[in-house]
Structure 1
Amino acid sequence: MNKVRVMGTTFIAALIGLFFLFCVGWALYDYYGEKSSDIELEEAKPSERNAPKEFTLVALGDSLTRGTGDETGKGYVGLVVEELEERFKSKPLVHNLGVKGQVSKELAKQVKQVEIKRQIQSADVILITIGGNDLFQQGQTLYDYDFAVTSELQEEYLKNLNLILKEITTSNNSATIFMIGLYNPFIELDEDYDTNKIVRDWNAVTADVIATYENAVFVPTFDLFQLSVNEYLYSDKFHPNKEGYRLIAERVSPLIQWEGDAK
């Protein structure tokens, strides 16, 4: 009988001992295990913060975005990228989505395409040239100038411009958008009427629309070509030549900022 009692007591004591050891072990694991995880997370944060982020630039629009007229093929977009590469000490990722001859109505459709939206979503900066083909129509609008017709073209363009900007900002509300203004390649036509005024008015209403979007900036180019337009035009007398594109790039590049800027 005593033997049974002793064995029972011993068994209970063993269980209590095992339970005590389990509690001690669990406490040690809880303390050191959690602390270890916290340290690992804290150690990972600086490396995550310091990890290099690739700068992404998306260019949209017409033949000026494609660089038509520049024999090197760079255009203003390529020249801007070269300047940014030197400044950021890394090569930006570039998506040049410009289409020769594109008008605002076509661009409004393009920015709704799934793949284009995906690239817009990744952008830090978005460059746009659009509206020249809407207004000039290969010079026909100005040669056969009609105020009512031009006003109608402008109204349609402004509607499309709003659609473009709304679509872009819906896809990406943090990227900075730079809208490149128009220059006047037809200054010599001023003997008949003030083409400068037509282009200036077009730029003014464009700038008004751009001003309603928080992260959008209107970049004027009219003054760059005004006094010596023929020196900066390609042989087609419409598109910029290499030097003309350089003028535009030098106007745009300093405006582009990035958190990874090496300056």
Structure 2
Amino acid sequence: MVIKSFIIVAAVIVLGIAGWFYYPQYQIQQMKKQSLEASQDGSIPTYIDYFSKSENESLYHLAIGDSVIRGYGVGQHQNLVSEVSAELERQTGKQVSFNNEGINGITSTELKQLVYSGQYDGQIKKSDIITVNIGGNDVLRTIKKQRHDIPSAFKAFDTLQVNFSENLGDIVGRITEINPNATIVFLELYNPVSPDMGYYTLAEKLLPKWNINIYKTAQTIPGSIVVETSKVINGENLQNLSPDGVHPSQLGYKAIASLIIEQFRTSPKKAAV
């Protein structure tokens, strides 16, 4: 009886851990499936169609967030914001002005404070597109503090993602309050760890638990897309990583920009509500 009870408890624990790891991944796959099905409806114009036919003679692209937005490690005209804006000009035939407000090392809490300070209000109000990348530094700061204490790191991760989800929701809530018609582009958090590293598998399993917060936030905003950054920035595409092993290389920024444009070309533009 004791052994049977132990086996049952052990099975419940194993299933709980498996669910903790894998259910977010399943949720993301379902959301991507829904987006794919929607993209096959040719009656809804794509983002490129929408921008091309807009009454505005020009487009304005605002980018906020961390060093991935800023373009850490590359020249001023080689970051993903410049790349996306230049290609968007070619695709739509319209002039695209942009402002890169990326800040190296910023966390979601700090970005929320800036957004609510009113610093970006004028730019948000006139934006057609707002690209947001945030959260990586939330994770990195915690890893540095808890790297020698794995149990504490797991506990901190759960608290961290709850805080991140709230911050991201507040950030986009403020954005849509100011400009409900802006298209918001979210970037997934990616895993730069090489498959040869011992903690690669763990990092891969934790990644969906973080990214599900981004997908859930995007679902609340009809005019938004989530870019699958992890498709091109990962341990198997080392050419897309800079020598520091964390930030994208010039090729990496270009690859992310290409993903954004591809989703603009193929994704239907849902109207704001």
**TM-score interval, smaller chain:** 0.7 to 0.9
Alignment of 1:57-136 (within 5 A): 57-71=61-75, 73-136=77-140
Q: Which residue of 2 aligns with 1:172?
A: 179
| SS, match of residue 191 in structure 1 | coil
Structure of greater relative contact order (alpha carbons < 8 Å, 6+ residues apart): 2
Query: Alignment partner for residue 218 of structure 2, among 210, 219, 226?
Result: 210
Alignment partners' CA distance in 1, 2:169 and 2:145: 23
Q: CA deviation at 1:138?
A: 8.2
Alignment partners' CA distance in 2, 1:213 and 1:254: 20
| SS, match of residue 126 in structure 1 | strand
Alignment partners' CA distance in 2, 1:71 and 1:138: 29
Q: Which residue of 2 aligns with 1:30?
A: none
Aligned partner letter, 1:181: E
Q: Which residue of 1 aligns with 2:193?
A: 186
| SS, match of residue 244 in structure 2 | coil
Q: CA deviation at 1:52?
A: 5.6
**What TM-score, normalized by structure 2, do the two folds share?**
0.70
Q: Which residue of 1 aligns with 2:256?
A: 248
Alignment partners' CA distance in 2, 1:253 and 1:134: 27
Alignment partners' CA distance in 1, 2:105 and 2:54: 43
**What TM-score, normalized by structure 1, do the two folds share?**
0.72
Aligned partner letter, 1:76: L
Aligned residues: 211
Where does structure 2 lack aligned partners over 5 or more consecutive residues?
1-52
Q: Where do 4+ consecutive residues of structure 1 move more than 6 Å?
A: none
Alignment of 1:138-153 (within 5 A): 140=144, 143-144=147-148, 146-153=153-160
Where does structure 1 lack aligned partners over 5 or more consecutive residues?
1-48
Larger Rg: 1
**More displaced, 98-107 or 191-200?**
191-200
Residues 69-115 of structure 1 deviation map (CA, whole Å, 9 limit, x = unaligned): 22465211111111012223343111211111111011111112334
Aligned partner letter, 2:190: Y
Distance 1:137 1:176, change over 3 A: same
**More displaced, 104-113 or 184-193?**
184-193
Distance 1:189 1:157, change over 3 A: farther
Residues 223-258 of structure 1 deviation map (CA, whole Å, 9 limit, x = unaligned): 22335242211121110000111110010023337x
Q: CA deviation at 1:191?
A: 1.6
Alignment partners' CA distance in 2, 1:190 and 1:131: 22
Q: Which residue of 2 aligns with 1:8?
A: none
